[in-house]
Structure 1
Amino acid sequence: MRPNLAARLGVWSAHHRKTAILGWLLFVVLATTIGGASGMVTASDDEMGVGDSGRAATILQDAGVEEPAGELVMVSSKTADGWRDAASDLSKALTATGDTREMQAPLPSEDGKDALLRFEMKGASDDAADRVQPVLDAVQKAKDDGAANGISVYQFGDASSEKHLGDLLSDDLTRAEFTAVPLALGILLVAFGAVVAALLPVGLALTACMGAFGLLSLASHQLHLFETTYSVMFLMGLAVGVDYCLFYLRRERDERAAGHDAETALRIAAATSGRAVLVSGLTVMVAMAGMFLSGLLLFKGFAVATILVVCVAMLGSVTVLPALLSALGDRINAGRIPFLNRKNKKGVHASGGIAGKLLRPVLAKPKFFAVGSAVLLLALAAPALGMKTEQLGLEKQFGSDAPLSVSFREITDEFPGGPAPAQVVVKADHAGDIESKETRAALAAVMRDAGKGAELTVHKSAGVAEIDVPLPGDGSGAESKKALGELRDDVVPAAFDGLDAQAYVGGDLASSEDFSDQLSKGIVPVFAFIAAVTFLLMLFSFRSVVIAVTSIGLNLLSVGAAYGVMTAVFQHGWGAELIGSEQVGAIENWMPLFVLVVLFGLSMDYHVFVVSRIREARDSGLDNRAAIREGITRTAGAVTGAAVIMVAVFGVFGTLSMQDMQQMGVGLGVAVLLDATVVRMVLLPSLMTLLGERNWRTPRWLSWLPRVSHGEGPAPEQSAPRPVPSATM
């Protein structure tokens, strides 16, 4: 039988080691250099918009209306009017920075103990965060000076929060990199017991991330990216990059443990694990492509980032990795750690002993373990039935004790709706019509119904008007949503009914609601696409409808359990303190779709690797139960090591400062842990045992599917099935 593509790539790389290694290094250097020189282009707030809020933002952008970055500073005192001197001094200090404009007179609170300073930053809002530091310094000085006199100062606004967010993201990504990489290296040292063997997967994963970072920077000039996209890429790149190398390296070691020479072991690893890496990588990339169907720029950026890094990691694993293994030979075990360096009698590593012991009762009582594991996963998924999603504001992202969150809470308590007003945007068909009698009357009607605090701005030359409407409550809660709904459904439509004008409601809350609505519409086609692609890829790989259907079912159980745990921890606060987080009452609205897509892709890493080994054993002549035992035990070491690394990497993100990063880390970490243990070690083998030979039957109507080899058998005299080694994982 002709060797498969992975085998041919592995053999070529082993025979052309210098070309493969230098070619990989050249690619990484060029991609990193060119991408770094081009820089990354981030998406503006206007580009991220959808629905009516997106249309409102587009109208203002097309009209050339620059939305300045607004800032709010509240000065509080213990007595009525006690804030006046401090507010006056602060107002002068802010004006003296030269970075502010439109400084308004202090707005007192109802009890007279607080005053709100409102102003705008000069220049474009997109880069206001880069110019806000002098303003922050002035506010901090006022805060320090006023502390002795019982004066408190709180600041919240577009520029200050964006700067805080940018600094936090940079610090978090740096912390993640410096924590995740040593963690992965330490786990690999335990898994392989040798320094070189542990460094190889980490080094390849990091170079894959570097190359993908460069390519993503180039791609960002066509598709603008969100700030967290690089964090997502690093998380995915490190996880899958190490996993793919681990699968390959584990198989090569297992073949050496079985008595094969280095060249034969490498060829078999290339044909089996290399093929599994290609199938798995392709599945992940196609699954990620489903995010393009969401209709949201955020997910399109995530799709490009993850597809690039998975593709680069996959290609590196089947090209440069065989070349490195061939060049290193037995030196792969250099730097051995004695107490971790467990070997079999032939002096090489083997795996499967612990897994064989754990698997024995599962295969003996498959119905009991199938039902028990399924009930466990469904129980973990149960809290997801009450999941609530919203676009978490910055005050929730940073945690309730963060200075920015405290400032937001204090300001909204005294001046409801101030930081996040709704924005009614009106565009007349002709510029002059914005001042017509009918349009003025409609604008006046909106102002009247909007109540106290509404502000009207008319841009005559562009034929555009905008009304800022303060929302009651904190600008994001039930009270605010109710007011926004009335504004959108009743006030604005009634005022502009029959007029030749476009009227839309935007603002932070409106953008969040529109984003969530688009997500709810997009999740169905995304899921349908991913499920269909997964089904077809598994069908073509294994020529089995049963295998394809169970693959989707098992993945859904993992996703459901992840949703349930995320809801329990972050929405209800169960155990949130244990991970340094807190209850926020909702899940970030983009998180469910992102977790669904990523987990469907990552679950296929384990599933393809494990089922390919089971099918390989089945094709060698073993019966169904024996093939399951062989496949599970042979892959247990690699799956366990890969899962521990993924959970560790995701766990690092679960400890970061941002709430959405915490939710992503915990959700993905829990799902991978359950997927590699409960699903792959218990539910999958018990279910396949119950299904028996039905796992491998190909219906007549699918007999045209090509037969795919799942192994690269050794020489005839070595082709008999091997007994499962008794060494530990």
Structure 2
Amino acid sequence: MEPSGTREVDRPVLHRWGAWCARHGWRVVGVWVVVLVGAALLVPRFTEGLTGSSLEVTGSESAHVAALLAEEFDTPVTEDALVVFDSAELRSDSAAYRQAVADVLGTLSEQAGVVEVENPYASGDDVLFARDGRTVLAPVGLAGDERARQEAAPSLQEVLDAATAQGPVRADLTGSSALNAAVVERQDEDIARAESVGLPIALIVLVLAFGTLVAAGLPLLLGMAAVLTAFGVLGALSGLVGFDAFVQATVTMLGLALGIDYCLFAVSRQREELAARGGDVEGSVGATMATAGKAVLFSGCTVIISVAGLMVVRAPVFRTMALGVMVAVAAMLLIGLTLLPAVLGLLGTRVDRLAIPGRRRSAGPADVARSRWARWTGVVMRRPVLVGGVTSAVLLLAVVPVGQLRLGFDVGAAAVSDTPAGRGYQLVDEKFAPGAATPLGIVVRTSEGELGDAELAALGRFTDRLLDHPEVSEVVSLGDVLTEDGGRADAATLRAARAADTDGALARLLSRDASATALLVMSRSPADSQPSLDLVRWIRDTAAPESLGEVPGLSARVGGLSGQIVDVADEVARATPLVLLIVSGLSFLLLLLAFRSLLLPLGAIAMNLLSVGAAFGLLTLVFQEGHGASLFGAEGTGFVQVYLPLLTFVVLFGLSMDYEVFLISRIKEEWGRGRDNTRAVVAGVAHTAKVITAAAAIMVVVFAAFMLTEVSEIKQLGFALSVAVLLDATLVRVVLVPALMRLSGRHNWWLPRWLDRALPRLELTEGRPGEAPAPAADRTTA
């Protein structure tokens, strides 16, 4: 029991706050009911406004192309899509097939958002007709921004379905927006399925850990409340910020896992405090917030700071993902520091109600003398070099494949192959040049005024150079249009064509001031394939400079989906060292303050990098190279999704710090009692291993459930996070940490005196259950 002389004002801030929330539990719960209702009303704004994966990189070459096309060309077309006609009964040269295409395109041209429709029979372009005589492509120009096009795609497909419902010809809309809309819908279904699997298993783990349904259900319910709150906040922000669909999966995954984990730590401590304080509810809740609550606050802030490192990446997709994760963690911290102590106060000793028969309700601290974790730690510390060396070798072996890591982007067509967009994309892939669905966009521009004879001649050479490349199937160029209409491509023919262009036919290819022209390049491979990415680099580095470089002021920029993938991969390569430095540096400073040691923060960072590297290595081995991919319902793609390494790195670094803080803070507490390093490590592991193992098991279950999804990046993220947490909570926390601390001995706690005096004091040690926390005046509290 705590001394009776301890005054309320002398207790730490979090102790007093926790006791206040427990004392005014119904008032706090009432406020949160209003908050959750408001959040629920805002959730549709978030989910309905989600877009497909955006690969825009601020200031990149592909971004310049998009800006030039939007600002300097009069065409309202912002995306080239395709309507894929297919029939098992009719041939494309039949009158019935021709009439069906004409009727469908006539109806489609009247729809909002459709500004250009090309009838393949009128254009006479042979490349729009499949050799088997069953499939025909009709290019369609869509208007609007990315969100508007994606919202319009399902409605346009409904129009196509209605127009072909009674006929033998099927019509499927495909392209970037149609695929994104299909992927977002499939992702919603996948997330619901993952939750239906992960949450029940998480509840089972909690029941095994606590032995009672009330204590087990509380972290689960509050984790769900955290996700709801985060979605509501993101819904409120949706009017200002556009969110990628991947943000929804990431927030759900991390919100549930962290929410359950943080509440697990607090509920475990609360039960210990109740047992030690003889049922003093307010005192135990206050002590829980001053100890486990403080560690949760510190850990959550560490995750937020780690994820904030993504803000230095010049790509909106990274920044919106970082914002989503930070909101989710902040929501969980707010719930953990307000709603959780209020509910614990209302429950009181009833937190142990509904016990599971056969399960022992262990509410008190671990008995070190009888602890299996203590015996295991003793084994590790008796052979630290052998055990630590073997474990390090295993992890380093898992890191090796990272050297072969290649970044790419999967448009998600395989995940939605049973939808019209996926079906159409597959037909284009099988019967035409796959790149036709998502062509490269190139803008050739002169700084010398209008395009003249020299510029148009260079444009002709550039076009010929592109057509000579084995990966290029077709090029739509201004030079070809001028040659077809006027017999040659020169300045005089261009002036005549502009004068005669009363219907704006040249608007797609020529800027308003005639200083720039746009080319469409169709690749023989899908836009997300390595040959298409290599084509982009060849055009930028070789074809454009050699063909256009001799004309002063003439240059070319390459955009389109393939160009965006190349740009975001380059940006990730540029930003990775900077993000690693920022995250590692800030983590070192935080751990330095928490542990007042130089060696422990350095060891923590090294071990975090090792476990994250091992997870990346296994991710590369499975999803890039395909070894064992079939076990997870996947195939080797030859690359890892381009934004996964950075995202998983910052998230895993933050998550790893959670376990580090909970473990080392308890070891430091034991060290402060007897200055015996070996005993401190053994006791610290014995006291925390059960809770850390349960927390890690829940995270692994939640993350692994998302591997059941069809969308590639979600499956890869679930794999990377679950593997990393599993490695961190097993090989790192209960093997490498004890081994390293045994080898370091008293040096674990060394800190130069001048630095000790200069650093502000941040005390994270928990103290024994039932002990009064140190007076607030004696220490700085989190």
Give the structure-1-normalised TM-score: 0.89
Residues 475 and 162 of structure 1, relative CA distance in 2, 3 Å threshold: closer
Q: 1:55 aligns with which of 48, 64, 68?
A: 64
SS in 2 for 1:425: strand
SS in 1 for 2:586: helix
Separation of aligned partners in 1, 2:45 and 2:238: 13
CA deviation profile, 1:470-525 (whole Å, cap 9, x unmatched) = 22334444433343233222333345444446631111111100110011101111
Q: Within the alignment, does 1:467 sit opposite 2:519 as a pair? A: yes
Separation of aligned partners in 2, 1:406 and 1:465: 33
Q: 1:454 aligns with which of 459, 463, 475?
A: 475
Report the equivalent of 1:711: 766
Is the 8 Å Cα contact of residues 240 and 310 (structure 1) preserved in structure 2?
Answer: yes
Following superposition of structure 1 onto structure 2, how do residues 488-567 of structure 1 map, counting pairs within 5 Å?
488-497=540-549, 498-500=551-553, 503-567=556-620
Q: 2:355 aligns with which of 312, 336, 342?
A: 336
Q: Within the alignment, does 1:20 sit opposite 2:74 as a pair? A: no
Deviates more, 1:273-282 or 1:478-487: 478-487
Residues 19 and 587 of structure 1, relative CA distance in 2, 3 Å threshold: same
**Aligned amino acid, residue 301 of structure 2:** L
CA deviation profile, 1:150-175 (whole Å, cap 9, x unmatched) = xx988643343233212212212222
Report the equivalent of 2:156: 132
Separation of aligned partners in 2, 1:718 and 1:215: 35
CA deviation profile, 1:272-292 (whole Å, cap 9, x unmatched) = 211110110111010011000
Deviates more, 1:462-471 or 1:589-598: 462-471
Q: 2:328 aligns with which of 309, 327, 332?
A: 309
Is the 8 Å Cα contact of residues 442 and 520 (structure 2) preserved in structure 1?
Answer: yes
**Aligned amino acid, residue 559 of structure 1:** V
**Aligned amino acid, residue 592 of structure 2:** L
Tell me by how many angstroms 1:35 deviates. Answer: 6.3
Tell me by how many angstroms 1:177 deviates. Answer: 3.2
Is the 8 Å Cα contact of residues 384 and 560 (structure 1) preserved in structure 2?
Answer: yes
Residues 383 and 5 of structure 1, relative CA distance in 2, 3 Å threshold: farther
Separation of aligned partners in 1, 2:374 and 2:288: 22
SS in 1 for 2:674: coil
Separation of aligned partners in 2, 1:49 and 1:116: 34
Tell me by how many angstroms 1:570 deviates. Answer: 0.6
Tell me by how many angstroms 1:361 deviates. Answer: 1.5
Q: 2:384 aligns with which of 360, 366, 380?
A: 366
Following superposition of structure 1 onto structure 2, how do residues 72-471 of structure 1 map, counting pairs within 5 Å?
72-73=83-84, 75=86, 84=94, 87-98=97-108, 99=111, 101-105=117-121, 107=126, 113=133, 115-120=135-140, 123-124=143-144, 125-134=149-158, 137=161, 145=168, 156-258=174-276, 260-263=278-281, 264-340=283-359, 342-343=360-361, 353-395=371-413, 398=416, 408-416=425-433, 417-427=435-445, 433-451=449-467, 453-456=474-477, 457-461=508-512, 463=514, 464-471=516-523
Separation of aligned partners in 1, 2:220 and 2:254: 13
Following superposition of structure 1 onto structure 2, how do residues 39-54 of structure 1 map, counting pairs within 5 Å?
41-42=49-50, 48-50=56-58, 51-54=60-63
SS in 2 for 1:454: strand
Report the equivalent of 2:500: none
SS in 1 for 2:245: coil
Separation of aligned partners in 2, 1:104 and 1:113: 13
Tell me by how many angstroms 1:695 deviates. Answer: 0.9
Tell me by how many angstroms 1:73 deviates. Answer: 1.8
* RMSD over aligned Cα atoms: 3.2
Residues 610 and 715 of structure 1, relative CA distance in 2, 3 Å threshold: closer
Deviates more, 1:115-124 or 1:418-427: 115-124
**Aligned amino acid, residue 690 of structure 2:** G
SS in 2 for 1:392: coil
Separation of aligned partners in 1, 2:37 and 2:179: 36
Separation of aligned partners in 1, 2:647 and 2:195: 21
Residues 495 and 256 of structure 1, relative CA distance in 2, 3 Å threshold: same
SS in 2 for 1:70: strand
Report the equivalent of 1:723: none
Report the equivalent of 2:501: none
Residues 283 and 467 of structure 1, relative CA distance in 2, 3 Å threshold: same
Separation of aligned partners in 2, 1:47 and 1:473: 19
Tell me by how many angstroms 1:222 deviates. Answer: 2.9
Is the 8 Å Cα contact of residues 593 and 760 (structure 2) preserved in structure 1?
Answer: yes
Separation of aligned partners in 2, 1:113 and 1:521: 48
Separation of aligned partners in 1, 2:181 and 2:710: 15
Is the 8 Å Cα contact of residues 237 and 309 (structure 1) preserved in structure 2?
Answer: yes
**Aligned amino acid, residue 579 of structure 1:** F
Deviates more, 1:290-299 or 1:450-459: 450-459
Separation of aligned partners in 2, 1:695 and 1:368: 20
Aligned length: 706
Following superposition of structure 1 onto structure 2, how do residues 690-709 of structure 1 map, counting pairs within 5 Å?
690-704=743-757, 705-709=759-763
* Identical aligned residues as a percent: 30
Q: 1:620 aligns with which of 673, 677, 689?
A: 673
SS in 1 for 2:509: strand
Report the equivalent of 2:497: none
**Aligned amino acid, residue 192 of structure 1:** F
SS in 1 for 2:413: helix
Tell me by how many angstroms 1:580 deviates. Answer: 1.6
Residues 440 and 27 of structure 1, relative CA distance in 2, 3 Å threshold: same
Tell me by how many angstroms 1:41 deviates. Answer: 4.8
Separation of aligned partners in 2, 1:46 and 1:560: 26
Deviates more, 1:688-697 or 1:438-447: 438-447
Report the equivalent of 1:481: 533
**Aligned amino acid, residue 216 of structure 2:** A
Is the 8 Å Cα contact of residues 268 and 712 (structure 1) preserved in structure 2?
Answer: no
Is the 8 Å Cα contact of residues 422 and 468 (structure 1) preserved in structure 2?
Answer: yes
Residues 616 and 89 of structure 1, relative CA distance in 2, 3 Å threshold: farther
Tell me by how many angstroms 1:39 deviates. Answer: 7.7
Report the equivalent of 2:81: 70
Tell me by how many angstroms 1:696 deviates. Answer: 1.0
**Aligned amino acid, residue 53 of structure 1:** S
Tell me by how many angstroms 1:229 deviates. Answer: 0.8
**Aligned amino acid, residue 663 of structure 1:** Q
Q: 2:693 aligns with which of 640, 644, 652?
A: 640
Deviates more, 1:162-171 or 1:611-620: 162-171
**Aligned amino acid, residue 455 of structure 1:** V
Residues 486 and 386 of structure 1, relative CA distance in 2, 3 Å threshold: closer
Separation of aligned partners in 2, 1:252 and 1:714: 9
**Aligned amino acid, residue 184 of structure 2:** G
Separation of aligned partners in 1, 2:450 and 2:217: 67
**Aligned amino acid, residue 278 of structure 1:** L
Separation of aligned partners in 1, 2:274 and 2:390: 37
SS in 2 for 1:129: helix
Residues 616 and 129 of structure 1, relative CA distance in 2, 3 Å threshold: same
CA deviation profile, 1:44-100 (whole Å, cap 9, x unmatched) = 888824410111011122236432441152648799x77645742541352253346
Separation of aligned partners in 1, 2:79 and 2:642: 27
Separation of aligned partners in 2, 1:325 and 1:450: 69
Question: Which fold has the larger relative contact order, with Cα–Cα distance below 8 Å and residues 6 or more apart in sequence?
Answer: 2
Separation of aligned partners in 2, 1:37 and 1:411: 34
Separation of aligned partners in 2, 1:491 and 1:703: 60
Report the equivalent of 2:16: 8
Gaps of 5+ in 1: 147-151, 720-729
Is the 8 Å Cα contact of residues 59 and 427 (structure 1) preserved in structure 2?
Answer: no
